[in-house]
């Protein structure tokens, strides 16, 4: 299997590939035919190979068909969060040099952004038979052509990751990167055609897309895709489909735990439960295992590594609360500030090597020179390896705020705050939170009258809701170091008191 065009090869045509709760179940044969048909429609409409298509669709069958059809046609899939503002959409579409934007009906912010950039739009829908229809300039696409498959080194997926710069960085991932990662995930969890995965993470994220959906399809298993995570329907969906596993951020695990008894959750449920995208507290690990009687496997992933880098293992393999396990087809090291590899038991920056790692950030030579050292990719996370090569993460070197798996660049929030006409200085920071792991807060110095709620409303017009500070402290001055620097961790500690 060399590209995503081969993802469905060798699977039983009549086996269920995707189930939509209260909707259709699509076999592998039907799914493959649909991908080929839609790829042909897109190619015939003028889609160019090697250029990006922004996809703004919710979780569902239409997303999976469009995503795989775009990559099948040789173009680059660039999924985006439908919650973005017009300005955010414009940045992401422009940075990816999108040739087309595919949206669902009612995606007004994305449509406005595309219109402002003069990027063509197409609207995707499912008809009554569960087939994808695409309308461009108000006319449904009906003409198709045969499509040449992509090559392993072609870019398949283009995502953005928030770094320590004020703007998110573009991460291109090749077909070869993705197929290597999918193989690693299938192998780690011994996924097979007997497995059914319940998709609760958004498909515009590597966690939901690569960590669960594409890996399950790679193994010949079935994916169950509700439109969004809903604790009230989760156990019914699990029961109806005999789902054998799910993967989520700790926030979702905690919600399911809190409601478990009220929702009549079974005492024995999944073959395993996976946790990723934010640190899982050891107490939550234990509560999950005890309540749902399933092994909990915490994993470590990032966009630049096509998601998974390490994981705890299925029994009888090791799984230790508070760790993220061993490298999963990925070489892991710990590096000093000077670029030398450290011995086990020493803390330093987590670095990785593997066929899953991005060839480099998009149009960002400065970021690439910082990220790669002697062939190792520097994750920006601090950690240590045990003698048995189990990785424990001990903190983030980068100043990202990790709100329930959503990585937020504090400089991006600072930039939004400082645009406010009454704010003279601003700094945002992450604060520990039981539900989300971290939440965004900020401190500001005013030059004219304003209020916390007015500042939050102002930010809400520029930033997606999850990036808006949940508390805004209005202060006379911001604490600084002796050299006049503002340090987020000091400010966060001050307000945490």
Sort strands 391-396 and 222-224 into parallel, antiparallel or unpaired.
unpaired
Cβ neighbours of residue 123 closer than 8 Å, sequence gap 6 or more = 102, 103, 104, 105, 134, 135
- Report whether 186 contacts 160 (CB < 8 A): no
Average pLDDT over residues 162-171: 73
Three-state SS for 411?
helix
Question: Lowest-pLDDT range, 79-93, 107-121, 170-184, 415-429?
Answer: 415-429
Greater model confidence, 296 or 485: 296
What gap in Å lies between CA 213 and CA 231, rounded to an integer?
A: 19
Three-state SS for 481?
coil
Q: How many CB atoms lie within 10 A of CB 282?
A: 13
Average pLDDT over residues 165-174: 85
DSSP 435: T
Long-range interactions of 256-265: CB distance < 8 A, separation 24+: 256/231, 257/284, 257/287, 257/288, 257/291, 259/231, 260/291, 260/292, 263/231, 263/232, 263/234, 263/235, 264/235, 265/235, 265/291, 265/292
> What is the band of 163 on the pLDDT scale with cuts at 50, 70, 90?
low
407 beta partners: 402
Q: What does residue 4 show for φ and ψ, rounded to 5 degrees? A: -65, -20
Q: Looking at the predicted structure, is the pLDDT value of residue 242 above 60?
A: yes
What gap in Å lies between CA 122 and CA 104, rounded to an integer?
A: 9
Cβ neighbours of residue 184 closer than 8 Å, sequence gap 6 or more = 308, 328, 329, 330, 354, 356
- Report the chain's mean pLDDT, rounded to a whole number: 94
CA dihedral 352, 358, 364, 368 (to 10 degrees): 20
Q: Looking at the predicted structure, is the pLDDT value of residue 448 above 70?
A: yes
> What is the band of 301 on the pLDDT scale with cuts at 50, 70, 90?
very high
Tokens of 159: 């995502």
Q: Which of 7, 17, 104, 105 is nearest to 54 (CA)?
A: 104
What pLDDT, on the 0 to 100 scale, is given for residue 344? 98
Q: Looking at the predicted structure, is the pLDDT value of residue 486 above 80?
A: no
């Amino acid at each position: 299997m060399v590209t995503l065009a081969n993802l469905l090869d060798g699977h039983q045509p009549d086996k269920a590939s995707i189930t939509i709760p209260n909707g259709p179940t699509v076999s592998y044969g039907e799914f493959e035919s649909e991908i080929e048909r839609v790829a042909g429609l897109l190619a015939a409409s003028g889609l160019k190979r090697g250029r990006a298509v922004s996809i703004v669709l919710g979780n569902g069958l239409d997303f999976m068909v469009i995503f795989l059809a775009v990559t099948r046609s040789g173009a680059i899939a660039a999924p985006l969060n439908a919650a973005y503002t017009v300005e955010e959409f414009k940045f992401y579409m422009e940075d990816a040099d999108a040739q087309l934007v595919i949206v669902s009906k009612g995606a007004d912010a994305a449509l406005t952004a595309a219109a402002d950039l003069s990027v063509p739009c197409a609207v995707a829908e499912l008809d009554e038979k569960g087939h994808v229809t695409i309308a461009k300039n108000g006319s449904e696409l009906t003409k198709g052509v045969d499509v040449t498959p992509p090559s392993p080194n072609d870019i398949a997926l283009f995502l953005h990751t928030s770094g320590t710069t004020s703007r998110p960085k573009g991460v291109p991932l090749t077909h070869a990167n993705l197929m290597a990662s999918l193989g690693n995930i299938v192998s780690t969890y011994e996924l097979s055609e007997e497995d059914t995965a319940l998709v609760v993470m958004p498909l515009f994220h590597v966690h939901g897309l690569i960590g669960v959906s594409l890996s399950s399809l790679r193994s010949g298993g079935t994916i169950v895709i509700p439109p969004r995570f809903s604790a009230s329907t989760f156990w019914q969906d699990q029961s109806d489909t005999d789902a054998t596993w799910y993967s989520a951020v700790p926030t979702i695990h905690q919600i399911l735990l809190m409601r478990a008894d009220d929702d009549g959750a079974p005492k024995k449920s999944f073959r395993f439960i996976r946790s990723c995208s934010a640190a899982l507290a050891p107490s939550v690990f234990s509560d999950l295992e005890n309540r749902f009687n399933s092994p909990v496997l915490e994993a470590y992933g990032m966009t630049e590594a096509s998601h998974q880098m390490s994981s705890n293992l299925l029994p009888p393999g090791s799984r230790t609360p508070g760790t993220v396990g061993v490298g999963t087809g990925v070489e892991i090291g710990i590096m000093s500030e000077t670029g030398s590899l450290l011995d086990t038991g020493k803390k330093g920056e987590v670095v990785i090597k593997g066929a899953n790692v991005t060839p480099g950030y998009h149009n960002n030579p400065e970021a690439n020179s910082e990220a790669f050292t002697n062939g190792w990719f520097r994750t920006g996370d601090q950690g240590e390896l045990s003698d048995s090569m189990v990785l424990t993460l001990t903190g983030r070197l980068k100043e990202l705020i990790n709100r329930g798996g959503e990585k937020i660049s504090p400089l991006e929030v600072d930039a939004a705050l400082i645009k406010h006409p009454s704010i003279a200085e601003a700094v945002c920071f992450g604060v520990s939170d039981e539900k989300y792991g971290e939440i965004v807060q900020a401190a500001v110095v005013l030059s004219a009258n304003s209020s916390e709620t007015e500042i939050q409303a102002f930010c809400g017009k520029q930033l997606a809701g999850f990036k808006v500070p949940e508390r805004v402290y209005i202060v006379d001055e911001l604490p600084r170091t002796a050299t006049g620097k503002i340090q987020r961790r000091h400010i966060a500690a001050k307000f945490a008191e």
